[in-house]
C-alpha cells in the first residue's frame, strides 16, 4: 500500500504530536527537511564564525590561566560547529556545500558575531551574555523533534555552562578591581546587552516561520518568551556584581514577576543581518582565509592517507 504525501504528512504530524522523535531515515515533509537544514547550518556557521571575535584575544589574554580558558572555550565552539554540521548532514546535505554557502555569503550566521571585541572585558561579556543567550535557545532546542539536532544540543549545553560561567566570573572579578577595570566591564556590557537581546530574533509577530516551526516542534517557545527568560535570569546577575543594564526603561513588574525592557532597535538588527554590521566583511574574509591557508594541511593529510592505503 502506497501512502499519499497528505497521508504521510498527517501521520508525521501525529507522530510529532505524540512527542515522538524524528530520525534521519524516517519520512519527513520536504519543507521540514529544508527548514532544519537552514536552521542547523546557520547554527553551525554561528559556532564557527563565533570563534573569530574571541580568537582575536587569545594572544592578548592577561594571564596564562585566562589564555588556557579562552583557548578551551574557542576549541569547544569549533567542536560545536562540527557536531551540528554532522547532525545536519544526516538530512542529506554535504558539509562542503554548507561551508561553500557560508563562504559565498549565501548562508547566514548569528548577527552577534558581526560586532567587534574592542577590549578584554568583551571576552567576559561574550561568555556571560552571548553564551548565556545561546544556552537559553539551545536548552529549548535540546527538546526539538529532530533526533540528531536534539542530541547535539544536549552535548553542547553541558559545555556552554562552562562558557557562561567563566565569562561571568571574569566580569565579577573586574568589577572588584580598579575604577578603570570597572569602567571597562561596564563598557562591554553597554555594547553587548542589546545585540544579545537581538540574538533571539524578531518579535514573533514579525517572524514568518514561527507558526510552522512550532507545529513541527522544531521551535518550542516563541522568540519573545526565550528573550524574557534570558532577561529574567540575567538582570539579577548584573545587579549582583554592580553592572548597570543600559536600558533606562528596564524595571521589574511585581505583578507579572518579570522584567520589562525598552524598545529593541530592530532597524539595527536588520542592518547587521543584511551584511552591514561593523564586522560582517571582516568575518567572512577571515573565514575564507583560514580555509585557503589550511588547504595544504588537508591536502597533506589526504596524501598521507592515500599513501598508507596502498
Contacts to Fe ion by CB under 5 A: 47, 77, 80, 131, 160, 163
- Work out how close the CB of 76 gets to other proteins at its nearest, in angstroms, rounded to a whole number: 7
> Smaller CB distance to other proteins: residue 150 or 271?
150
Nearer to Fe ion, 164 or 227 (CB): 164
40 grid coordinates:
542547523
Distances (CA, A) of 130 to 162, 198, 212: 13, 10, 27
CB of 50 to other proteins, least distance (A): 17
Cβ–Cβ under 8 Å, residues 21 and 150: yes
| HSE of 216, CA atoms in CB hemisphere, 13 A | 21
Nearer to other proteins, 96 or 242 (CB): 96
Chain-centroid distance of CA 170 in Å reads 21
Smallest gap from Cβ 103 to other proteins, in A, equals 12
**Residue 131 partner contact from other proteins, Fe ion, none using kind-dependent CB cut-offs of 5 to 8 Å:** Fe ion
Instruction: Report how far residue 139's alpha carbon sits from residue 151's, in angstroms, rounded to the nearest whole number.
Output: 11
CB 123, min distance to other proteins, A? 20
Binding residues for other proteins (CB under 8 A): 23-27, 72, 75-76, 79, 82-83, 86-87, 89-90, 92-97, 148, 151-152, 155, 159, 298, 301-302, 304-305, 308-309
| Residue 281 interacts with, from other proteins, Fe ion, none (CB under 5-8 Å by kind) | none
Distance of closest approach, residue 278 Cβ to Fe ion, in angstroms? 21
C-alpha cell at 273: 543581518
Give whichever of 16 and 87 is closer to other proteins, judged by the CB atom.
87
Distance of CA 183 to the CA centre of its chain: 27
Q: How far is the CB of 128 from Fe ion (least distance, A)?
A: 11
Out of Fe ion, other proteins, none, which partner does residue 235 contact, by CB within 5 to 8 A per kind?
A: none
Cβ neighbours around 15 below 10 Å, total: 16
- Give the whole-angstrom CA distance, residue 10 versus residue 7: 5
Inter-CA distances, 271 with 140, 160, 286, 302, 310, Å: 27, 28, 21, 41, 54
Number of C-beta neighbours around residue 216 at 10 A: 21
Q: Which is nearer to other proteins, 204 or 291 (CB)?
A: 291
Distances (CA, A) of 43 to 36, 166, 172, 233, 262: 10, 22, 29, 23, 27
160 or 247, CB closer to Fe ion? Answer: 160
- Residue 163: name its binding partner from Fe ion, other proteins, none (Cβ under 5 to 8 Å by kind): Fe ion
d(CA 245, CA 193): 7
25 binds, among Fe ion, other proteins, none (CB under 5 to 8 A by kind): other proteins
Amino acid at each position: 500500500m502506497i501512502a499519499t504525501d497528505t497521508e504521510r504528512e498527517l501521520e508525521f504530524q501525529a507522530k510529532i504530536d505524540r512527542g515522538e522523535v524524528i530520525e534521519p531515515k524516517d519520512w519527513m515533509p520536504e519543507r521540514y527537511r529544508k527548514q532544519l537544514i537552514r536552521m542547523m547550518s546557520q547554527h553551525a556557521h554561528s559556532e564557527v564564525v563565533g570563534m573569530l571575535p574571541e580568537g582575536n584575544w587569545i594572544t592578548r589574554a592577561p594571564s596564562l590561566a585566562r589564555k588556557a580558558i579562552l583557548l578551551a572555550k574557542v576549541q569547544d565552539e569549533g567542536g560545536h560547529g562540527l557536531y551540528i554540521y554532522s547532525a545536519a548532514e544526516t538530512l542529506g546535505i554535504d558539509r562542503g556545500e554548507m561551508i561553500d554557502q557560508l563562504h559565498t555569503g549565501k548562508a547566514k550566521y548569528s548577527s552577534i558575531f558581526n560586532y567587534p571585541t574592542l577590549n578584554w572585558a568583551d571576552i567576559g561579556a561574550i561568555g556571560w551574555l552571548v553564551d548565556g543567550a545561546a544556552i537559553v535557545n539551545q536548552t529549548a532546542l535540546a527538546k526539538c523533534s529532530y533526533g540528531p539536532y536534539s542530541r547535539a544540543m544536549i552535548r553542547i549545553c553541558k559545555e556552554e555552562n562552562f562558557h557562561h560561567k567563566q565569562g561571568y566570573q571574569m566580569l565579577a572579578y573586574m568589577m572588584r578591581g580598579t575604577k578603570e577595570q570597572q569602567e571597562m566591564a561596564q563598557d562591554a556590557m553597554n555594547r553587548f546587552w542589546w545585540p544579545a537581546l537581538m540574538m533571539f530574533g524578531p518579535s514573533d509577530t514579525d517572524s514568518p516561520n514561527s507558526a510552522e516551526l512550532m507545529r513541527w516542534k522544531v521551535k518550542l517557545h516563541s522568540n519573545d518568551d526565550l528573550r524574557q527568560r534570558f532577561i529574567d535570569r540575567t538582570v539579577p546577575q548584573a545587579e549582583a556584581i554592580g553592572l548597570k543594564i543600559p536600558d533606562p526603561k528596564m524595571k521589574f513588574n511585581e505583578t507579572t514577576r518579570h522584567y520589562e525592557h525598552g524598545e529593541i532597535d530592530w532597524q539595527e538588527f536588520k542592518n547587521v543581518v543584511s551584511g552591514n554590521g561593523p564586522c560582517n566583511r571582516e568575518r567572512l574574509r577571515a573565514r575564507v582565509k583560514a580555509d585557503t591557508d589550511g588547504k595544504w594541511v588537508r591536502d597533506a593529510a589526504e596524501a598521507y592517507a592515500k599513501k598508507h592505503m596502498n
